Amino acid sequence: MEAAGGVKKRAHARREQVLDAATACFRRHGFHAASMAEISREAGMSVGHIYHYFSGKEAIIAAIVEREQQEILEVDDGIRSQPDLGRALVEHAPRGLQRALDGASGPLLLEVLAEAARNPAIASMVREADAEVRRRIGSTLLAATAGSGELADLQGRLEVLGALFGGLAIRAVRNPGLDRESTARAMQRVIGALLEP
């Protein structure tokens, strides 16, 4: 017998170990160019053993995408919990920019989206998470602007907000040396305009 929970905990840790390794590999080479052998090397685990935790490469990709979407929801939660959403969004701009430029998340995000564009399983995960974000931000936004009449084009504004922040990952690839301060200021100007009634 083993200590209660010990087995499950270890199994979970092993899974995370694989996911971390796979994330690194996928960032470097993309989903399809990264090999199971490379992942196993990075995870410090034999190839065969990975199959004790994941049914295949597809399952690893799916798990990573899920984790990635989870993180998006968490970032979003951090913003929404602020007392003034508009201000929080505006203030988030520089951080979002930095995240896109420095964080290694950008390339992986693009990889995920490219995959979602052809893999229905990935697509539905991505879309569910996105719908959740829109629902949350939307309701917070509604509550925040409750006094000043209904906010026109709420859905459209949410879309544009998503395009703006998501688009930063694209800018990070297209122009990694961009002027951060200037861009942050322009972002803030635009976000401000987006939240006006």
Partner DNA sequence: AATGAATGAGCTTTCATTCAT
Partner DNA sequence: TATGAATGAAAGCTCATTCAT
Stretch that binds DNA, among 41-49, 106-114, 151-159, 178-186 (CB under 7 A): 41-49
Spatial neighbors of 195 by CB under 8 A, at least 6 apart, are: 85, 86, 89, 141, 145, 157
- The partner in contact with residue 45, picked from DNA, a copy of itself, none with C-beta cut-offs of 5 to 8 angstroms by kind, is DNA
Interface with DNA, residue 14, by CB under 7 A: yes
- Pick 19 or 31: Cβ nearer a copy of itself: 31
- How far apart are CB 77 and a copy of itself at their closest, in Å? 18
End-to-end CA distance of the chain: 63
Neighbours of 115 (CB within 10 A): 20
Interface with DNA, residue 87, by CB under 7 A: no
Closest CA to 98 of 17, 14, 178: 178
Neighbours of 106 (CB within 10 A): 20
- Pick 7 or 173: Cβ nearer DNA: 7
Residues that bind DNA (CB under 7 A): 2, 7, 10-11, 14, 33-38, 45-49, 51-52, 55-58
